[in-house]
Structure formats: C-alpha cells, structure tokens
C-alpha cells in the first residue's frame, strides 16, 4: 500500500467515526453484527473499499478496506464500552 492510499484510508476512518458519532442508530446496527466478517460486496468494480463480485473482477485482489474499517470501529467501540462498564 502506498502513502496516498494510507491517507485515503485514514480519512475514511475519520469520516466513518464522525458519521457514527452523529448517527447512534447506525452505530447500534454496526454493533449488532457482533463478530461477523463485514465485506462491502458490490458490482461497481470497487475492489479498494470493497469486493466486486462481477466476473471481470473474479481474479483481482479484493482489499475491502471499508469493511475492515467498519470491523475496526466495531471492535474499538466494544472495547470502549467494556472498559466503561466497570
């Protein structure tokens, strides 16, 4: 991964964190997925943020960065809630 991609991912993480802060219902929906693997399936050839399921992208690498960010935010939120529970 190059530096530009890393910055793009950091910016997306910040964007998602702001979104969840403003939309607690969405955060609850994310938490309700428990420990499920989140994959952003699509048909738009987006293999950076997700996983395109079209025939053309079959052999490409599917990075699913948005899915991984959502799982990261989910885990961090669970850890925070756990620590605050005591």
Residue choice 9, 40, 52, 73 for contact with Zn ion (CB under 5 A): 52
Packing angle of the helix pair 3-22, 65-85 (nearest 10 deg): 50
CB of 47 or CB of 77, closer to Zn ion: 47
Site string for Zn ion, 66-85 (x = CB under 5 A): --------------------
Hey, is 24 helix, strand or coil?
helix
CA distance 29 to 49: 20
Residue 54 interacts with Zn ion (CB under 5 A): yes or no: yes
Chain contacts with Zn ion (rule: CB under 5 A): 45, 52, 54, 56-57
């Amino acid at each position: 991964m190059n530096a530009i991609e890393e910055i793009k991912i950091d910016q997306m993480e910040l964007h998602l964190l702001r979104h969840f802060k403003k939309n607690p219902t969405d955060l609850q929906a994310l938490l309700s997925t428990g420990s499920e693997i989140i994959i952003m399936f699509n048909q738009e050839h987006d293999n950076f943020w997700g996983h395109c399921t079209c025939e053309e992208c079959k052999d490409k690498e599917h990075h699913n960065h948005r899915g991984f960010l959502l799982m990261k935010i989910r885990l961090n939120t669970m850890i925070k809630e756990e620590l605050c529970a005591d």
